[in-house]
């Protein structure tokens, strides 16, 4: 009986080594982490949470830098501020942490953990930037925390070691090819409506971002996973698929940022932030299920509780980001136009019919020269 158990253990070890592409005869500097999937899983969660926390700090630092520059009346460009650049550096470190987390934990878990950034940003803005704490912030934060707990508890606890051969096999699987075909069709239709039909609805723009985000998540996890395997001793950087994924990652990120900036110009941040979080998370989970098959073998209860945790996180983010109050700034004293001697100011004047502002009141401020009635 003991010999059979030893034989089974050796067989499992050989299967695990073949799946990960690691030769058991070659020692690795991170062998202990590799041989303990739970440690790898928890490491990915911790890195992602720390990265999102740094992102929230960086956003508030940049916001404070803009506020201080406005209050001091500094007309120089914002990128000359040392404080603003410190926020940018923290942003880079946070994004780097998220990038590294994809190499240790499932993509379907790392993406929803982005709600940590929203929660931390709300808390920091209330404590340090003196924003108003609302009841919806407390309820939304509580829901997001409970949702995050459910995500961590019921998400897939095993993450496949990403190798070049594994990425190549996943890239030609029939389920991913069908998914990619449908995504290209939907993206083309949305792009036609957005560019040709000039339909600037927020749902269309956010769907374009989400479709690109799914490719970003797939490529980021592939690149991060292959770099992680290379650091552990199994070199993956010599395979062409690594550089293909790098190109896909850079291109999808660039176009994603482009559409996201266009949405920020047209719509309010309170609309863009929660919708982008929901769509991005949904696309990341779908990409993890279709490409990396992360939910394969997961119990139905775990799947339902994971989706319920996502729903709670979505609602929490919506409540926190909904109608955020503006930060109160110092009032600047102006001289009222009506107090200037010998002048009268009409603040509601209908412009001339030939002007571009015709039909809108208060488009201009027009002051009349003193007339005979002013002398009386």
Per residue in 47-91, pLDDT tens? 999 999 998 888 888 888 878 877 777 667 767 778 888 888 998
* 237-261 residue pLDDT tens: 999 999 999 999 999 999 998 888 8
Residue 159 half-sphere exposure toward CB, CA atoms < 13 A? 33
The neighbouring-strand residues paired with 366 are 346
CB 319 within 8 A of CB 134: no
Quote the radius of gyration of the chain (alpha carbons, Å): 27
Query: Average pLDDT in the 10-22 region?
Result: 42
pTM: 0.71
Distance CA 363, CA 376 (A): 30
The alpha carbon of residue 282 and the mean position of all alpha carbons in its chain are separated, in whole angstroms, by 12
CB 155 within 8 A of CB 284: no
How deeply is 188 buried, as exposed, middle or buried, from its count of CB atoms within 10 A (0-12, 13-18, 19+)?
Answer: exposed
Share of the chain above pLDDT 90, in %: 31
Distance CA 57, CA 123 (A): 10
H helix or E strand, kind and range, residue 131 = none
What pLDDT is stored for residue 159 in this prediction? 66
Band of pLDDT at residue 324, cut at 50, 70 and 90: low
What pLDDT is stored for residue 36 in this prediction? 64
- Joined tokens for residue 55: 């992102």
Which among 299, 12, 370, 27 has a CA at the least distance from the CA of 154? 299
Distance CA 210, CA 255 (A): 11
Query: Average pLDDT in the 31-37 region?
Result: 53
* 261-284 residue pLDDT tens: 888 788 877 788 888 889 999 999
Query: Is the model's pLDDT at 208 over the cut of 90?
Result: yes
- Joined tokens for residue 126: 């209330």
The SS3 call for residue 365 is: coil
Distance CA 281, CA 318 (A): 14
Query: Average pLDDT in the 32-58 region?
Result: 80
């Amino acid at each position: 009986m003991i010999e059979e158990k030893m034989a089974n253990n050796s067989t499992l070890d050989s299967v695990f080594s073949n799946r990960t592409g690691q030769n058991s005869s070659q020692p690795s500097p991170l062998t202990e982490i590799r041989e303990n999937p739970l440690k790898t899983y928890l490491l990915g969660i911790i890195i992602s949470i720390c990265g999102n926390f740094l992102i929230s700090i960086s956003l508030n630092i940049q916001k404070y830098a803009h506020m201080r520059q406005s209050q001091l009346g500094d007309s120089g460009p914002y990128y000359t501020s040392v404080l603003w650049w410190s926020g940018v550096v923290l942003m880079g470190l946070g994004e780097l942490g998220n990038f590294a987390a994809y190499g240790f934990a499932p993509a379907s878990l790392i993406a929803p953990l982005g709600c940590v950034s929203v929660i931390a940003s709300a808390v920091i803005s209330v404590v340090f930037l003196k924003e108003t704490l609302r009841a919806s912030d407390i309820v939304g934060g509580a829901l997001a925390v409970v949702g995050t707990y459910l995500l961590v508890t019921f998400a897939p606890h095993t993450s496949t070691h990403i190798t070049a051969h594994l990425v190549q096999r996943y890239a030609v699987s029939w389920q991913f090819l069908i998914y990619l075909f449908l995504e290209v069709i939907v993206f083309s239709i949305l792009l036609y409506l957005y560019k040709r039909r000039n339909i600037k609805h927020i749902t269309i723009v956010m769907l374009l971002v989400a479709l690109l985000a799914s490719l970003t998540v797939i490529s980021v996890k592939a690149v991060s996973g292959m770099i992680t395997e290379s650091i552990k001793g199994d070199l993956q950087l010599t395979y062409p698929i690594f550089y293909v994924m790098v190109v896909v990652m850079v291109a999808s990120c660039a176009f994603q940022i482009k559409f996201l900036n266009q949405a920020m110009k047209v719509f309010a941040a309170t609309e863009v932030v929660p919708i982008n979080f929901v769509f991005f998370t949904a696309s990341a989970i779908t990409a993890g299920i279709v490409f990396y098959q992360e939910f394969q073998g997961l119990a139905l209860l775990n799947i339902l509780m994971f989706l319920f945790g996502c729903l709670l996180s979505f609602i929490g983010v919506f409540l926190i980001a909904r109608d955020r109050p503006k930060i109160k700034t110092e009032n600047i004293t102006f001289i009222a136009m009506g107090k200037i001697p010998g002048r009268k100011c009409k603040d509601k004047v209908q412009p001339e019919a030939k002007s571009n502002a015709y039909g809108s009141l208060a488009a201009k401020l027009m002051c009349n020269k003193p007339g005979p009635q002013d002398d009386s």
